[in-house]
Amino acid sequence: MTQIEYLSQLEKNLTNKISKDEVYDIMRDFAEYFEEGKKQGKTEYELTLQFGDPKDVANQIIAESKVRIAQEKPTIPNLVKAHVAVKGFNILSFLIALPFVLFAIFILGVVLFSVGFALLCGLGLILFTCGFFSFAPPPLSISAIFGGIFVVGASLVIIGLLVKGIHMILLWIARRLKKITQQGLKKYGYGVENDEE
C-alpha cells in the first residue's frame, strides 16, 4: 500500500466520526510520520505495515477522541459514545439500558396524563360553575369558582411534586448509567474520573 492509499483510507474512516479539525491534524501528523520514516530509509510499504490497517488505526483514533471528550465533559451521552467507541455496541449494553429507557418513557406518560387530567378537572369545575350557577346567589358561585381554583392549584402542586420525584429518579438512572459506562471504560484501559454529584 502506498502513502497516498493509506492516507486516503485513513481519512475515509475518520471523516464524519470526529471533528474536521481533528481529521486535518491527524492527516497532517501521518504525512509527517511518512516523511520521517522515509528519511530513516524505510519504504512506504514498510511504514504502512508498521502503522497497521488504516481502519484499525482510525477506530483507535476515534475511540481515543471519544474518551478524551468524555474525560473533559463526562456527560451521559459522551460517556456512552466513548463506551461504544471503545467496546462497540453489544446486546448486553442494549439490555442494560432498555429497562431504564422504558421506565423513563412510562413515567413521562403517567406525568403527562396526570397533568392533563388534573388541569381539565379544575378548569372544568370552574367553567361548569360559571355556566350553570350564573343565576345562583353570589356566595355559591364565588365559592364554587374558588373551589375550582383550589383544585387547579392543588393539581399543580401535586404535578410539581411528581415532576420533582421523576427528576430524582431520572438523576438516579443517569448516575447508574454513568457508573456502568465508566466501569466499562476503565476495564478497557481508559481512565475516566468518577465524579459523584
The series of mean pLDDT values per 10 residues for the chain, 197 residues long, is 91 90 92 92 91 88 82 74 65 66 78 76 68 54 68 76 80 73 63 46
- Which pLDDT value is given to residue 73? 81
DSSP state of 17: T
Give the relative orientation of helices 3-14 and 54-72 as an angle to the nearest 10 degrees. Answer: 40
Q: Greatest CA separation found in the chain?
A: 104
pLDDT for 194 equals 46
pTM to 2 decimals?
0.49
Q: Which residues contact 84 (CB under 8 A, 6 or more apart)?
A: 66, 93
What pLDDT was estimated at residue 197?
40
Burial of 116 (0-12, 13-18, 19+ CB in 10 A): exposed
